[in-house]
Every structure is written in C-alpha cells, then in structure tokens.
C-alpha cells in the first residue's frame, strides 16, 4: 500500500569547514484512524415458498414500497417487488428502515380436502373455491357499516359483490371475493381473489392495503388480481399474485378492458375484461371502498388487562438481552423455532442486541380489543428517545397470554 507522506520541513544545507551537515529525519506521518466496523446488517432468511420482496419490506419496514430500497446495492440480485423468492436465500434489510424484527408468520395450513376426497392421505386440498361459497369470516366487520353487528342476511351486501372467471399466467379460477381500498394518491385498488378474505386480519391495523392482499396469498394460497384504478377512472396496470409468482401487467389492454359503472367516495363498481391468448379475464365487482376497518370483539379494560401485561413483559424480556427470558416470554409454539434458528452465533448476538435497541421503554397501554383467544393491544412508548406507537397481537394459550407480533406506527 502506497503511503503519501507530508513534507514537514525544508532541507537546510549548512556549510561548516567545507562539510555539508544532514538535516534531522522528518517526523513520522500521523497515524491513520481505523474505520469503525459497521454494525451487522439485519438479515431475513426465506424459509418457505411464497415470500416476496414486497411482503418482506411491508413486514419488517412497515411500507410495501420500501422494496425498492432493498434492491441494488443492498441486495444486488433483487429487482422486482412480487417475484417469489427461493427458499434458503437471505434478504438484507438496512437497520434504519426496520420497525420490527419478529419473524414473518408462516402460512396457515391449507384448507381441508373436498368432502368426496375420502380419508386418503394423498387427497389434495381444492385449488379453488366456488364463487357461491362463503367463508364463516366473510361477515366480519367492514368499513362504513353501521355500529351494530350486521345480520347474516345483510352481511353479503355490506361486503359488496365480486364474480367472474380468470385465466391468467397458467392459472384458471373463479372469483370468490373482492375488496376495494385506497391506494397511493387518488388510486383505488380493487383486489379479487379465488378465496374469501379474512376480514378480521384486516382489522389488526385498522385498514386494508396491499400487504393484506399479499398476506392473504401467503396464508391461503389464493390467486389474486388487483386492478389499480386511477383518479380519472382509467387503469394502466394490474398486479397479480398467483401460484407461479407475482408481478404487474401494464399496457393498453388493461386500460381498454376496464369499464366503470359507478365511482363515489364510498363505492366503486364495474367490470374488467382481457382477451389476449392464452389469457382471458371477465370479472365484475360492486364494492364498498374500505377506508377503515372496525375491530371485532370487546374493549380491553384500562391498562390492557392480562393481554396488556403480556405486551409489557415481552418488551421487558427484549430489553434484557437475555435469550432465555426472551424465549420464556414467547408463545410455546415459537420456542422450538427460536432454539433451532440456523444462524451463526455472531448473527444471533447481533439480532439480540438489535432487539434490545428496538424494544420501547416507558411502555403505556392505550387500549385495545379482545375477541376470544386473540387480543389487539395498542401501546405507546419511547424508542431511541422518540415517542412511538404500535399495536401488538396477543394470543391466549392454555390460559396464558403471549405477545406474538408487533407493528409500530
């Protein structure tokens, strides 16, 4: 390594008795300060099929659009939001973007087999659900509904209607459910799915967004298309999450295929048709625009009751930096997963230190709701000296409450 030396003086030639005297040697250059070692990056390990960069960004950073910040140079080989990532790969996430570090939830088990499939262990779950079937959750609370719980007869109309057939990117399915919600700017997004949406899931953060649609795909293996309808009633792009992966389809065919029959502040209705062999889409929708979602269940007592205590205990365990305390505060089904986590010891310690820094202090329970064995607890606290608010999901297992996830605002 070439070192550049700074001149520290001028050579003086002293003549005495006809002899030249050598000047004293220059002082050594000042020491170069060692560059500080950057903190290890937070790394997400893809452990099952169906995870996408957009879903990972939404879970860990709170914003779907942060997937763009997870491409080059952070993850040089990732370029798209909705391509399914291979199992085993790692996704680096800049620490300044993180709002949570608990692992992404695993997909729920697939639906039970068709009644005619028998008891054979090789019988497969149905790939589609007929449009005429409705999930027991379909009548969960939706936006702009009356304060009183809707009757079963009125629930279908409260959720609107969606129907049609989709043959796209190698998948063929019937539309079983639909939901409309605000996108970016004045855009309204209309998501159509092969399986009913679980509207109780929407209520966790009080709204519907693209993350809920991705989570629906991960939980149920449903096929979905999302029509992105601009403020002027046009549509240039359609997002899709399907068995073979996800992405966006844009162009004149999408723009020409949309026909709106109604668009108000609270409702959107119309149809979309696409005929580009081998693909064909013919769908219809008349949906309320869901701007907020009311939680099911009853209000928690002041202080949050036992669910609130579980949240405070979980954050205290995180701040302790003691892995055994963290494990004890985790739900029983999470503990084996924590013990068998495959990562170098240095990464494990780095994650523990980061969890310590992310756990809020001065936690105060603001309220929440409880519905059976699930509670949503709203809290506020301080993180890095700044006021923060969030919602923790808490589950009751064998009579005891455990915090299972947390979303900061």
Question: Mean pLDDT, the chain, as a whole number?
Answer: 77
Give the tens place of pLDDT for each residue, 352-368: 887 888 889 999 999 99
> Rounded to an integer, what distance in angstroms lies between the CA atom of residue 351 and that of residue 41?
9
CA 338 to chain centre: 20
Instruction: Tell me if 283 sits within 8 A of 272, measured CB to CB.
Output: yes
pLDDT tens digits, residue range 261-285?
A: 999 999 999 999 999 989 999 999 9
**Given this model, what pLDDT does residue 131 score?**
33
Nearest to 245 by CA among 55, 44, 43: 55
The H or E element containing residue 257 is helix 252-257
Q: DSSP label at 248?
A: E
The pTM assigned to this predicted structure is 0.55
Comparison of pLDDT for 175 and 36, the residue scoring more: 175
**305: pLDDT strictly greater than 60:** yes
300/294 Cα distance (integer angstroms): 15
Q: Is the predicted pLDDT of residue 135 greater than 60, yes or no? A: no
Q: Is the peptide bond before 45 cis (omega within 30 degrees of 0)?
A: no
Q: What is the pLDDT of residue 108?
A: 56
């Amino acid at each position: 390594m070439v070192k550049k030396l700074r001149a520290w003086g001028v050579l003086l030639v002293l003549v005495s008795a006809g002899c030249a005297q050598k000047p004293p040697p220059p002082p050594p250059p000042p020491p170069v300060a060692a560059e500080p070692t950057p903190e290890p990056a937070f790394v997400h390990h893809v452990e099952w099929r169906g995870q996408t960069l957009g879903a990972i960004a939404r879970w860990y950073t709170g914003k779907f659009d942060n997937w763009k910040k997870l491409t080059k140079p952070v993850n040089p080989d990732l370029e798209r939001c909705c391509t399914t990532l291979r199992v085993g790969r790692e996704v680096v996430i800049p620490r300044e973007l993180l709002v949570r570090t608990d692992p992404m939830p695993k997909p729920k088990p697939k639906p039970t087999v068709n009644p005619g499939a028998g008891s054979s262990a090789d019988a497969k779950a149905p790939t589609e659900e007929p449009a005429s079937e409705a999930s027991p959750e379909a009548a969960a609370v939706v936006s702009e509904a009356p304060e009183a719980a809707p009757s079963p007869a009125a629930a279908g109309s409260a959720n609107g209607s969606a129907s049609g057939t989709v043959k796209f990117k190698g998948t063929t399915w019937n539309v079983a459910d639909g939901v409309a919600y605000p996108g970016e700017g004045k855009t309204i997004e209309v998501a159509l799915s092969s399986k009913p949406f679980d509207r109780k899931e929407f209520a966790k953060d009080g709204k519907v967004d693209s993350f809920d649609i991705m989570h629906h795909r991960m939980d149920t293996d449903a096929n979905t298309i999302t029509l992105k309808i601009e403020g002027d009633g046009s549509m240039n792009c359609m997002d899709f999450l399907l068995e073979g992966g996800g992405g966006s389809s844009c162009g004149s065919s999408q723009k020409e295929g949309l026909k709106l029959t109604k668009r108000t502040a609270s409702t959107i209705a119309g149809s979309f048709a696409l005929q580009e062999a081998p693909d064909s889409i013919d769908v219809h929708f008349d949906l309320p625009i869901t701007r907020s979602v009311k939680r099911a269940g009853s209000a928690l007592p002041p202080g949050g009751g036992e669910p609130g205590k579980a949240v405070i205990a979980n954050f205290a365990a995180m701040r302790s930096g003691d892995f055994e305390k963290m494990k004890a505060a985790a739900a029983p089904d999470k503990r084996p997963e924590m013990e068998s986590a495959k990562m170098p010891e240095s990464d494990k310690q780095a994650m523990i230190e980061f969890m310590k820094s992310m756990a809020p202090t001065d936690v105060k329970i603001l309220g929440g709701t409880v519905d059976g064995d699930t509670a949503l607890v709203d809290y506020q606290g301080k993180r890095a000296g700044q006021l923060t608010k969030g919602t923790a999901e808490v589950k009751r297992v064998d009579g005891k409450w455990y915090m299972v996830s947390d979303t900061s605002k």
